Amino acid sequence: MAKVNYQFDKRQRDLARKKKQEDKRLKKQAKKIAKSPEAGGAVLPKDETGQS
């Protein structure tokens, strides 16, 4: 029987959680930009590497 790899499972859960948080952040940011078009200049979301 195969041994359970708990580190892999934990890493996958962490990645899924971070992706969900990032999606939520981007959704909020898009909603904020859509509400205030007179805010001047669009803010570009950062990609996964943290660069604009």
For the cut 60, the answer to whether the pLDDT of residue 41 exceeds it is: no
Amino acid at site 10: K
Provide the pLDDT for residue 35. Answer: 87
Provide the pLDDT for residue 51. Answer: 62
pLDDT in tens, 7-33: 999 999 999 999 999 999 999 999 999
The two tokens of residue 17 are 């959680």
CA angle 7, 12, 13 (to 5 degrees): 100
Cα(1)–Cα(13) distance, integer angstroms? 23
Provide the pLDDT for residue 36. Answer: 81
Provide the pLDDT for residue 38. Answer: 65
Max Cα distance, the chain (Å): 62
